[in-house]
Amino acid sequence: MMKAFSLDGHAALVTGSSQGLGLAMAQGLREAGARVVFHGLQAERTPEVPADAAYVSADLLDPDAPEQLVARAFEHEPGIDTLICNAGSFFDTAPLEMTRERWDKTFQLNISASFFVAQAFAKRLVTANRPGSIVIVSSTNGFQGEADSVAYDSSKGALVMMTRSLAVSLADHGIRVNGIAPGLIRTPLTSQWLEPRAHDLLVHYEKKILLRRVGRPQDIAGAAVFLSSPAASYITGEIIVIDGGLTVCQIGRL
């Protein structure tokens, strides 16, 4: 029965997998047996990206980059049947100071790039008449607002709906589409604001999070493997929240 969780014989592209959540998910897919194409903004792979894995550099803020990324990934691994749309970032300021440039940059990377990577991937599978799986990484910010985070929160909410809508549209092609919504996870992105206020903020979150700790990137990998595996073959249009119970309890511990 445990073979249902194996990804032997599968190949995957994971966007934004040179660090943080994407790196952890890509490593998890490899451990489960998949051949993984890593992606990052950097021209050269980071030391954490395995030397024996394919790596593609692409700036997904470039409108042509999603299609080019998918094309190059399939050159490395023609049998790709799994896509993890993870690349994204945070560019917010206070909403009264938000600029059109920052707003557009957020949606270009977090929404448009994810959609057009998914579209290019799905086109190849439909042409080849092959089934597949897409996992879209959103956030608990897609369900709950956060101060001075209106563009990011809006983009993550859009990813939640995009997951469900793509699941409806791609089901007849045998392509499952699911989502992961991480809570507070310690990554290079979150460390930018978590570390300067580490003590007070950590105490606050450790009281609010039911499992009493900030998440690690590895905490997300298992869900990515599961949703990509035959064990999830009857699951589509779902979003798994992975937040240690952060959004379950209204008040938290005092």
Catalytic residues: 152
pLDDT of 211 above 70: yes
Mean pLDDT, residues 193-204: 66
**Position 139, amino acid:** S
Sign of CA dihedral 111, 82, 38, 54: negative
pLDDT of residue 249: 87
pLDDT of residue 32: 97
**Mean per-residue pLDDT over the chain, rounded:** 94
Which tens digit of pLDDT belongs to each residue from 118-138?
999 999 999 999 999 999 999
Least confidently predicted of 18-22, 101-105, 170-174, 187-191: 187-191
101-125 b/e (C-beta count within 10 Å ≥ 16 → b): eebeebeebbbbbbbbbbebbbebb
| Structural domains of the chain, with CATH | 2-242 (3.40.50.720)
pLDDT of 1 above 60: no
CB 133 within 8 A of CB 228: yes
pLDDT of residue 192: 62
pLDDT of 198 above 60: no
